[in-house]
């Protein structure tokens, strides 16, 4: 019997730094994986999850800013690519691979995204504000880029020390 939720890999796991490969075909396994990823994301109160965070090096992303409140808002992105981006905004970001940590990250405000949906249909669509931020964050995961990679060396050292404290206290 399959267990209820997938394990989410945390900062320090080497898989999070690897490049995810393009998905060539959408089959039942991929559809089931996307459903299990969605459950894991909701279970962790997340609004985005990339396949590398659960140990799968494929270009699959789940996003739902409503955390399951409105199933129609859920997005499954396969092989997502940002074609254009505009504006800049710095804001706090969390990450399921960095529990208990938020960092101030600079992102584009508006993006033009090309992706494939779970039905194999290619979609090109504009996103802005929080949804654009979350998409950029998750696409970073597909490239092996983490939020800690987007901050200064000093802030990185402070964050690493904070993580050490969280681990010592059993909160990580």
Q: Establish if 41 belongs to a structural domain.
A: yes
Confidence at residue 3, expressed as pLDDT on a 0 to 100 scale: 47
Per-residue confidence (pLDDT) for residue 72, from 0 to 100? 87
The domain of 41 spans 14-168
Residue closest to 57 by CA, chosen among 33, 35, 83: 33
Hey, what's the torsion of the CAs at 100, 146, 10, 62, to 10 degrees?
Answer: 90
The pLDDT assigned to 2 comes to: 45
Q: What is the pLDDT of residue 4?
A: 56
Answer yes or no: 138 catalytic.
yes
149 token code pair: 């990679």
Q: What are the tens digits of pLDDT across the range 152-165?
A: 999 999 999 999 99
Query: Tens digit of pLDDT per residue, the chain (172 long)?
Result: 344 568 999 999 999 999 999 999 999 999 999 999 999 999 999 999 999 999 999 999 999 999 989 988 899 999 999 999 999 999 999 999 999 999 999 999 999 999 999 999 999 999 999 999 999 999 999 999 999 999 999 999 999 999 999 999 988 8
Structural domain includes residue 61: yes
d(CA 152, CA 79): 29
Cβ-proximal residues to 134 (8 Å cutoff; 6+ apart), any chain:
47, 48, 63, 65
- Total domains in the chain come to 1
pLDDT at residue 1, rounded to an integer = 38
Do 138 and 49 meet the contact criterion of CB atoms below 8 Å apart?
yes
**2 in a structural domain:** no
Which DSSP symbol is given to 58?
A: B
- Among 28, 126, 138, 171, the one annotated catalytic: 138
Question: Looking at the domain assignment, is residue 71 inside a domain?
Answer: yes
CATH number of the domain where residue 150 is located = 3.90.45.10
Identify whether 113 is part of a domain. Answer: yes
**CA angle, residues 136, 140, 144, in degrees to nearest 5:** 175
Kindly state whether residue 1 falls inside one of the protein's structural domains.
Answer: no
Dihedral sign (CA 164, 49, 70, 108): positive
The pTM is what?
Answer: 0.94
Amino acid 71: pLDDT? 82
Q: Is residue 67 part of a domain?
A: yes
Any domain includes 4: no
């Amino acid at each position: 019997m399959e267990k209820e939720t997938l394990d989410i890999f945390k900062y320090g796991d080497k898989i999070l730094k690897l490049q995810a490969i393009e998905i060539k075909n959408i089959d039942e396994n991929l559809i089931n994986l996307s459903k299990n990823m969605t459950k894991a994301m909701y279970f962790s109160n997340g609004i985005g999850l990339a396949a590398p965070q659960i140990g799968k090096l494929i270009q699959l992303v789940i996003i739902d800013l409503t955390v399951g409140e409105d199933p129609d808002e859920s997005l499954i992105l396969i092989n997502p690519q940002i074609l254009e981006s505009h504006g800049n905004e710095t804001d706090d970001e969390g990450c399921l691979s960095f529990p208990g940590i938020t960092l101030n990250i600079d992102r584009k405000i508006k993006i033009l995204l090309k992706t494939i949906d779970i039905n194999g249909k290619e979609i090109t669509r504009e996103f802005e504000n929080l949804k654009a931020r979350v998409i950029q964050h998750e696409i970073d995961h597909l490239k092996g880029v983490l939020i800690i990679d987007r901050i200064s060396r000093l802030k990185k050292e402070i964050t690493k020390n904070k993580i050490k404290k969280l681990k010592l206290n059993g909160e990580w």
